Amino acid sequence: MQRLGAARWVAVAGIAVLLAAVAVLVFAALQHARPEVARGSAEPVPTFTLGVQTPTPTPTPTEAAPSLEQTRLLALGSEAWWRATAGSCTGPAPLIERSDDQGATWTNVTPVYRGIAQVQTLEAFSARDAEIVAGMAGCEPQALRTYTRGEFWDSYPDVLAASRYVDPSDPGAVHLPSGPVPAPCPAAFGLHAVGDVIALTCDDRAWSWSAGEWVALPPENALAVTVDGSDVLVAHRAEDCAGVAIARVAAAAPDVASPVGCAEGTDAAAPVAIAARGDGVVVWTGDALVGIP
């Protein structure tokens, strides 16, 4: 009996050893098939690409448009030239200058004492006198004129009522004597008006007001506008001009642009202002004033 009991215990022990060995082999096989992932890190989710993989294109950098406060204005009288940087009611102050020697030298004539905050329009209404529409305290528009070469400026409410200008507090609205109208984009600037011709720049295009609506003018990539008689002159970027190009658009044919010339060497990426002079154009950009015959 003792021998029989000992034999049973030996058999039981052998079976236990055999089961333990099998468990070790199974565990090793599982580990081989699925290696252990380090604690605290998740396994990556497998991804698959079908067909030919096309690289994601890199965006092409674009030139940043000058801000509205950098808008430039230029007006030429036979005895005095005038220029201005618009400024902002909530930012940099404007600057108005006068030249008595056709742009060789300039004198600061900004009416700071009146609390001027922003310039919207600038016109030479006589040989030596100028007028502006400006945003004053609280960006309230006023029309100011000078009869003293910029030494003193006075407010003229009747001139304001008859003026055309972009609202100083809302560049998406244009004031006309008949009442306000929406601009063709939320940020219009550089409005010029002579007689019945009104033009401005908006979303890299020149626009004119005709028969109660805004009409987009060629060419594209517009930088600034001015009015010359019944025509609109458009400063713009062009592939064949290493600088600022000028085109003329007749009010009677607003879909046709005639090249005027190229201001070689000027910076078309900087704020630009233009003004008609006889049969030519004067371009102001950077520190340069360039005439195109």
- Torsion on CA atoms 272, 132, 108, 148, rounded to nearest 10: 140
Segment 67-85 mean pLDDT? 96
Taking alpha carbons only, the member of 114, 116, 115, 74 closest to residue 98 is: 74
pLDDT bracket for residue 7 (50, 70, 90): very low
Residue 157 has pLDDT above 70, yes or no: yes
* Residue where the block lists tokens 């030239």: 81
What does the block give as tokens for 258?
A: 């005639």
Q: Give me the phi and psi of 21, to 5 degrees please.
A: -65, -40
Q: Give me the phi and psi of 68, to 5 degrees please.
A: -60, -35
Segment 231-250 mean pLDDT? 97
The predicted pLDDT at position 279 comes to: 86
Residues forming a β-bridge with 174: 166, 181
The model carries a pTM of 0.77
Instruction: Tell me which range, 13-17, 29-33, 59-63, 106-110, is most confidently predicted by mean pLDDT.
Output: 106-110
Residue 2 has pLDDT above 80, yes or no: no
pLDDT bracket for residue 17 (50, 70, 90): very low
Average pLDDT of every residue of the chain:
84
Amino acid 183 reads: A
Residues 6+ apart with CB under 8 A from 159: 131, 143, 145
The predicted pLDDT at position 67 comes to: 79
Question: What percentage of residues in the chain have a pLDDT greater than 70?
Answer: 77
DSSP summary character for residue 49: -
Q: Give me the phi and psi of 5, to 5 degrees please.
A: -65, -40
Domains of the chain: 68-292 (2.120.10.30)
Taking alpha carbons only, the member of 266, 287, 281 closest to residue 192 is: 281
Q: What are the tens digits of pLDDT across the range 185-230?
A: 999 999 999 999 999 999 999 999 999 999 999 999 999 999 999 9
